[in-house]
Amino acid sequence: MENLINNILGGYSAWQFISFVFFFLIGLAIYSVQETRERDIESKFTPKKFNFKFFILDNLRRFALAILLIYVQFRFFKELTGQELTEFTALLIGYAGNGISGFGKRNIKALQANRDKLLNKQQP
């Protein structure tokens, strides 16, 4: 069992993993805020005012993909780079993982939510 956990965490302790997750999430959040601020508020496919529920539902598949991409980057970081993971690198991995998943959402139909349906749910 210990070998399994060691393989899943890539040799990092559980506390190191939790610390890295914290920084992954900060990087993910920074990218999300940046992208939200750049949205086209005049588009008929987004609400005029920011709506947290719409944001979550619209990006649910993307966030699932981002978490998988972040884990893969985390798990194989040392093998790919020959370097130890740091908190700053974890922040960059979170940012990049969300960026790559955002690219996927824009280009892969299966990752896109039905915005018409989401917008109609949001209206009273």
Mean pLDDT within 26-35: 92
Asked if residue 101 lies in contact with residue 62, where contact means CB atoms within 8 angstroms, the answer is yes
- The four Cα atoms 85, 89, 95, 101 give a dihedral, to 10 degrees, of -40
Q: What is the pTM of this model?
A: 0.77
pLDDT digits (tens, 9 = 90+) for 11-25: 888 899 999 999 999
| Tokens read off for 58 | 């619209």
Contact 120, 45 (CB under 8 A): no
What whole-number distance in Å separates Cα of residue 103 and Cα of residue 91? 19
Confidence of residue 109 (pLDDT cuts 50, 70, 90): confident
